[in-house]
Amino acid sequence: MSPVRPQLAAALDYLRDGDALVVTKLDRLARSTAYLLLITETIQGKGAALRGLNLNLDTSTATGRMMLTMLGAIAQFEREMMLERQREGIAKAKAAGKYRGRAPTVRAKLDQIKAYRAEGMGATEIARRAAVSRVARAIDLTHSSDGACQAPCRHRLPMSTNADQS
């Protein structure tokens, strides 16, 4: 179904005729009506049903399918409205000079961390001096300048900085 959600894809693949995929909340299953309907279509194509526990929703009935579509559209509308309000709030805060954005991550300190490491400093001391967690420091040191992992890890995004690429 989606490479970003391998467990959902595995669950959908495992469904058999007569099974039911049970979810606690529909908004955790899909963020858009179109994606929700695609998942539902996949489930129905396997002869299974979707059940939402928080709303006592069952797509094995015509009423359940209608309610799923309506609730999915309402959930998508709510999410889009929330994001719109968030963008407006951020723009207003920026205009007032009150918005500074997210605090710098360990990536911003990567050159400093690598310099400490080159000096032979231990992980605990590096973490203390750079004010980062030992885990974050160790993860960033496992990546080369092109962002490729040098050790087994679960990152989907490169962990390099612009400074690393020069």
Q: Which has more pLDDT, 58 or 142?
A: 58
Quick one: average pLDDT of 123-131?
A: 83
What mean pLDDT value characterizes the chain?
80
- In this model, does residue 121 exceed pLDDT 80? yes
- In this model, does residue 87 exceed pLDDT 50? yes
Name the H helices within the chain.
Answer: 6-14, 26-29, 33-45, 62-95, 110-118, 123-130, 134-141
Quick one: average pLDDT of 15-27?
A: 91
Q: Which of 19-28, 33-42, 65-74, 95-104 has the lowest mean pLDDT?
A: 95-104
Per-residue pLDDT tens over the stretch 33-43: 889 999 999 99
What's the chain's length in residues? 166
Question: Rounded CA gap, 56 and 127, in Å?
Answer: 49
- Of the pLDDT bands very low, low, confident and very high (cuts 50, 70, 90), residue 157 is very low
* Sheet strands side by side (includes 20-23): 20-23, 49-52, 57-58
